[in-house]
Structure 1
């Protein structure tokens, strides 16, 4: 199988699994009320956090196993684990069983990190940066399409029973993975800690994870209460407008990620991340103080462009510290930092919005991004002392 077919199959498998996993969370409240006959609608928020929290804990462990036993095996395990947990979710008879099944989704899933680790065995450098950008686009496309299509399919049906049919999607993804070749063993490609060009990586792996955590926290904290914020800040807003405004940054990613990658994903990654995060913080601050629709549209679009550039720069930094031998640990830890950022953002968003109003998450997000940008600026001179090794004249 050619590398292009391997990449296409990996992307297709991840989209199918992500479509199923991301399509159902908006219906947790309905499942509680209509299927499990529970009046505790507040549990919907906790059920949203449970898989994310368990994934944050388990992803580094799965990543280490991928480096030891093979990326294909662990990617196959992730898809099969998701299929089993979906099927068990469909059998839940009460709130406790439903919560336990969601916990299994977090523990047994991890298809995003496993897919990235497998892709790192067939690509490196800028090509890997481009593939990571495509993978992020796959997740955002699933985030768009999943809830919308699930809403149509769930008409006249019990949402909980849909998990039984959704289990078929990761099973199909597992079949795709089964047909793909196993990459070279980790022993044949020991981790180097250097880029494919032989230069020292611009930042240490722990710093990349910290930057990713701050970026995810600063953006995700604005998600849960954006609709109430828009309704509060803008008068006479059409009912459909908050949803469209919420989706604008994600739409911008889908439109601009691939065209932007050749321009900003090759070199000067830290300065690019610094400038992009500064622009993102400014867009968040502007949204917190906007009171008219045209201004909010411009700022949401600016947020999307800055967010896209941040992702591309982060993908470039990840590619610079990743090779086929350490890809499992790298992407397992990176995905854990993403999940921890989302958990922290979700936990803080509720308290901040309740205490200070729906604009508060934007201010906290801007502060987190601004602090991260400042730390990048301080660290740059120290990293500038690294010089690439001299080229051989042989």
Structure 2
């Protein structure tokens, strides 16, 4: 990555890129850290058996997916910084309402608002894409994914540590200060200029050699994004249950570590992987899908701590390859297009994949047990790798 103080084509400094990623990280704490505690929150709101936990878990995701394309178009029209600030302030308001809700309908309405008013990931990516291009943009998007991985690992731990003093329900209101602080920090950043329209797929000056044919089609990017989210997220909900069945003597902390291992790999591997795949993103994506397929398939027969650790680390390598490659594809696909609209659509596709993954995981677990969703994720990843290979071979000639 470039040294601090160098300027991107539109004048965005490296430390400002880091600021955007940091703001996304802190704003994601409540969004990612509190939903796992819905079963502890809902009894105090009248749902004594927490029957609505599964549905409420995906409510913000569904409404975020529905709102993302609209917010993206508005960002292209009225300014990316304005819409990024709107997203952070929207999260702060919705978290405050959730933290002080005293009934299940009020809490549900707050989660709906969280989805409708949020969308910080698409807004942040749209802001970066309006100021950066090529290699720097793909690395900035890689940093954003790193922020998401770190929040996914750290947030549940922090929420659990605070629970003896502040209930998870009231932590919504407490953690509302994080997106508010992020908005104040972002207010100091510049508004990216609106560059003159460029024909889709046309490389920026001096980057013709870095243009990747695969990334010229947003449709290919959208398909790969949906498949990757579906293949990986489908393995999340019932992993702890599977580990508990296979390793009954393992405590909850160790099970949590096994769950988090793939996400811990990303910060360690992202930089070298980005260097390797920045100019070969389709190859990186296909390789990532292949590793994910092998790692998830291995969970079917895993029965020891060592085997689970090895498979989780292999899954982490595959997830890093896939996520970094998708960032590089996105950086190329948005060239010459409205970044707000493109990243809004990309977030819609990603959230749709997560919703489908949750539904398929629930159904397959009910029918075949906790290993079934993980094997289904392996099948999706393997099929995507096989379908993408002919295109990869054709473009490599």
Q: Same fold (TM over 0.5)?
A: yes
Which of 33, 42, 61 is residue 51 of structure 2 equivalent to? 42
Partner residue of 1:59? Answer: 68
Superposition pairs of residues 40-189 of structure 1, within 5 angstroms: 40-185=49-194, 188-189=196-197
Partner residue of 1:281? Answer: 293
Contact kept in structure 2, 1:245 and 1:297, CA below 8 Å:
yes
C-alpha separation in 2, matches of 1:19 and 1:287 = 29
Superposition pairs of residues 198-209 of structure 1, within 5 angstroms: 198=208, 199=211, 201-203=213-215, 204-209=217-222
* TM-score, normalised by the number of residues in structure 2: 0.91
| Greater displacement, 211-220 / 325-334 | 325-334
Partner residue of 2:239? Answer: 226
Partner residue of 1:304? Answer: 316
1:377 shift after superposition = 1.6
C-alpha separation in 2, matches of 1:232 and 1:215 = 27
1:80 shift after superposition = 0.9
2:349 pairs with 1:340: no
2:16 pairs with 1:16: no
Contact kept in structure 2, 1:192 and 1:323, CA below 8 Å:
yes
Distance 1:96 1:318, change over 3 A: same
Runs of 4+ in 1 over 4 A off after TM superposition: 381-385
| Greater displacement, 87-96 / 243-252 | 87-96
Partner residue of 1:392? Answer: none
- How big is the alpha-carbon RMSD for the aligned residues of Structure 1 and Structure 2? 1.9
* TM-score, normalised by the number of residues in structure 1: 0.92
In structure 2, runs of 5+ residues without a counterpart are 1-10
1:116 shift after superposition = 0.9
Contact kept in structure 2, 1:19 and 1:142, CA below 8 Å:
yes
Superposition pairs of residues 367-386 of structure 1, within 5 angstroms: 367-380=379-392, 383=395
Contact kept in structure 2, 1:121 and 1:324, CA below 8 Å:
no
| Greater displacement, 191-200 / 315-324 | 191-200
C-alpha separation in 1, matches of 2:83 and 2:134 = 23
2:322 pairs with 1:314: no
In structure 1, runs of 5+ residues without a counterpart are 386-394
C-alpha separation in 2, matches of 1:227 and 1:116 = 32
C-alpha separation in 1, matches of 2:282 and 2:233 = 22
Contact kept in structure 2, 1:3 and 1:122, CA below 8 Å:
no
1:382 shift after superposition = 5.6
The size of the alignment, in residue pairs, is 382
Partner residue of 2:3? Answer: none
